[in-house]
Chains A and B, each alone.
Chain A
Amino acid sequence: MADLANTGSLQLRDVTKMFGTFRAVDSVNLDIQKGEFLTLLGPSGSGKTTLLMMIAGFLDITHGDIALDGASIADVPAEKRNFGMVFQGYALFPHMSVRDNVGYALSVRKKPAPEIKTRVDEMLELVQLQDFADRKPTQLSGGQQQRVALARALCFAPPVLLLDEPLGALDKKLRVEVQEQLKDIHRRIGTTFIYVTHDQEEALSMSDRIVIMRDGSIEQVGTPKELYERPATRFAASFLGKSNFITQGVKTFALRPEKIDLRVGQGGDDARTSGTIRSITYFGSMQRIIVDTAQGDEIEVDIDVWRNQEALSVGAAVDLLWQDAAAVELKET
């Protein structure tokens, strides 16, 4: 896999996709570093799959340009782009064994059989499916099928791997497990991963950078921490994690629920605002408390269960406190 040490960066310039008069993807500009784990995050219909399909070459771009390592690939057909792809639902070849599925990319490139065998064994080991080489896809569990799809897409050492909600069909527990494996594989092979999901936790825990998409355009790009700590817009703040919004004059601030402290009793001079508790919901590791403020707003506060064990009850009067840095000013209201 040494041959791709210097390839795998992508440049998207004004990429736009129209379906009739509808803009599914709208002037997307993005530089993707080689070896990066980039996540496209957004609600349903925000254009994630469409953008991915244009990168893969299955959809023509209406205008704009996509370049690999600086050279435009807009006119290169899908089968010549050499991008690996893990499809939503995996799209394994049902009539072929796991081994033939994984080796397909090499065998259509007419590589000699021994070379294919070595490489396939290597890939099966990477995804820990050595013992399943002779099974058919229908004889595998969802998680195993997912790993076959991954091995198949990585077998020809593509510079870029595209994944469209690869964990969508798995249950919660398995998802977390496969997330770890995916991260681990990414670290080991250093391929650029472009990952589509609408699961914000998945995006936060796996990505080097996250692109938040909304109605076909990019809302905000940044590392998970940047996006969480400094959301630029109301949409970004509420899509990635939970957020309270506070208006002061013409300015709006986003305030994460876990960054607020709560003190029983009213009128402390360090209090930002005060109010009464409307509800308390217990989540095990923390409790979510909704406070109606004197100004008529509703503020959510997440606090550890072990704190404030005294007199927290619905209807109690409380002061709310937070640090200056906790309130992030938003660009738009």
Chain B
Amino acid sequence: MNALRKHIHPGWLIIAPLLVMVMALYLGPILNILWLSVTDPEPGFGNYAKLGESDALIRILWTTVRICIITTVFSVTLGYSIAYAMMHCHQRQKNYMLTLLLVSFWISILVRTFSWLMLLGRRGLVNVALEDIGLIAEPIAFMRNELGVLIGMIHYMIPYAVLPLLVSMQAIDQRVMDASRNLGASGSQTFLRIYLPLTTPGLVASTLLVFILSLGFYVTPAVLGGGKVLMVAEYISVQLLVTLQWGTAAMLAALMLFGVLAMLWIMSRFMKLSTVFGGAAR
């Protein structure tokens, strides 16, 4: 017993039951999915082989990745400027903006998605207004296509992009920026050579967060895509609920999991992930 105590901190014994529970509840289902993907409907890699055979599957994966990349680029870029503005305005306005940001977290994704239909749908506010002024004869197709999905997803993702950026911008010492100016650097030189590198961990964190969240997006593409834009998450749900091909669904889920892990692994080759996820920047 004593020997055991020397090697294992007693704290571990206290959290051990919780640890075991979390592991079971997390790893169990994941292992189950991996298992399903190679056993249903019959053992083997038949499900994965479908990737090579079915153009439809490849098209869905490609649509998903394309939409995720565009969403990430726009959300992170817009998020960067929003975070920058928040950092450089007066305290009052900053609090105001922060509140708005948090409020958007609390509004249900359904509400936020449907409000875009009200605004940009065929009979939405914008189209009706433009038609009434006489600027357009036919309503512009904002919704029920990829553009609609992108608008909805970017809108939803921006707050997620802002938060990690805000954290890394907050950590910058104003005197470091002053020092750069004092040494003769112009505003854009200071931004490119000091500000941007110092906020890179935030940028990476924000990119990963938005991209990974986008991969599994379901509601917005389903509603705003109008059935024309099929992404992986929606396809998985169809396999589960309609065609009952659980093996295919499990394979796609596993594929997404591997994709995310691979991304994290590639990132970790370039920088310590601990700095990205808020560890000490060293």
Which residues of A come within 8 Å of B, CB atoms?
56-58, 77-80, 82-85, 87-89, 91-95, 104-105, 108-109, 138, 152-153, 156
**Interfacial residues of chain B within 161-194, with CB under 8 A of chain A in the complex:** 173, 175-176, 178-186, 189, 193-194
Once the chains bind, are A152 and B197 in contact (CB under 8 Å)? no
Please give, as numbers and ranges, the residues of chain A lying within 8 Å of B178 by CB-CB distance: 58, 78, 87, 91
Q: How many chain B residues have a CB neighbour from A under 8 Å?
A: 19
Interface majority SS (helix, strand, loop, mixed), chain B? helix
Min CB distance A20 to B, Å, is: 15
Return 24 A-B CB contacts under 8 Å, by A number: A78-B181, A79-B181, A79-B184, A79-B186, A80-B184, A82-B184, A84-B182, A87-B175, A87-B178, A89-B175, A91-B175, A91-B176, A91-B178, A93-B176, A93-B180, A93-B194, A94-B176, A94-B198, A94-B281, A104-B185, A104-B193, A105-B183, A152-B179, A156-B183
**A153 vs B183: C-alpha distance when bound (angstroms):** 7
Please give, as numbers and ranges, the residues of chain A lying within 8 Å of B175 by CB-CB distance: 87-89, 91
**A152 vs B185: C-alpha distance when bound (angstroms):** 13
**A252 vs B183: C-alpha distance when bound (angstroms):** 48
Which residues of B come within 8 Å of A, CB atoms?
173, 175-176, 178-186, 189, 193-194, 197-198, 281-282
**A85 vs B177: C-alpha distance when bound (angstroms):** 13
**A138 vs B186: C-alpha distance when bound (angstroms):** 26
Once the chains bind, are B176 and A108 in contact (CB under 8 Å)? no
Contact of A83 among B182, B189, B193 (CB under 8 A): B182
Once the chains bind, are B179 and A91 in contact (CB under 8 Å)? yes
Once the chains bind, are A105 and B198 in contact (CB under 8 Å)? no
The verdict on A108 contacting B198 (CB below 8 Å), with A91-B173, A91-B176 known, is no
Please give, as numbers and ranges, the residues of chain B lying within 8 Å of A138 by CB-CB distance: 282
Min CB distance A99 to B, Å, is: 15
Once the chains bind, are A108 and B184 in contact (CB under 8 Å)? yes
Most interface-central of B180, B181, B198 (chain A CB within 10 A):
B181
Please give, as numbers and ranges, the residues of chain B lying within 8 Å of A93 by CB-CB distance: 176, 179-180, 194
Please give, as numbers and ranges, the residues of chain A lying within 8 Å of B281 by CB-CB distance: 94
Please give, as numbers and ranges, the residues of chain A lying within 8 Å of B179 by CB-CB distance: 85, 87, 91-93, 152
The verdict on A156 contacting B197 (CB below 8 Å), with A87-B179, A108-B189, A138-B282 known, is no
**A80 vs B189: C-alpha distance when bound (angstroms):** 14
**A108 vs B184: C-alpha distance when bound (angstroms):** 7
Contact of B183 among A88, A94, A152 (CB under 8 A): A152
Min CB distance A54 to B, Å, is: 13
The verdict on A156 contacting B184 (CB below 8 Å), with A94-B198, A95-B198, A138-B282 known, is yes
Please give, as numbers and ranges, the residues of chain A lying within 8 Å of B198 by CB-CB distance: 94-95
Min CB distance A2 to B, Å, is: 20
**A94 vs B198: C-alpha distance when bound (angstroms):** 8
Contact of A109 among B180, B184, B194, B282 (CB under 8 A): B184
Most interface-central of B175, B185, B189, B197 (chain A CB within 10 A):
B175
Q: Which 6 A-B pairs have the closest CB atoms?
A: A91-B175, A105-B183, A91-B179, A108-B185, A79-B181, A85-B182
In the complex formed, the residue of B with least CB distance to A139 is: B282
**A311 vs B180: C-alpha distance when bound (angstroms):** 64
Please give, as numbers and ranges, the residues of chain B lying within 8 Å of A89 by CB-CB distance: 173, 175
Once the chains bind, are B183 and A104 in contact (CB under 8 Å)? yes
Min CB distance B204 to A, Å, is: 14
Once the chains bind, are B282 and A108 in contact (CB under 8 Å)? no
Most interface-central of A58, A85, A91, A109 (chain B CB within 10 A):
A91
Please give, as numbers and ranges, the residues of chain A lying within 8 Å of B186 by CB-CB distance: 79, 108
Contact of A105 among B184, B197, B282 (CB under 8 A): B184
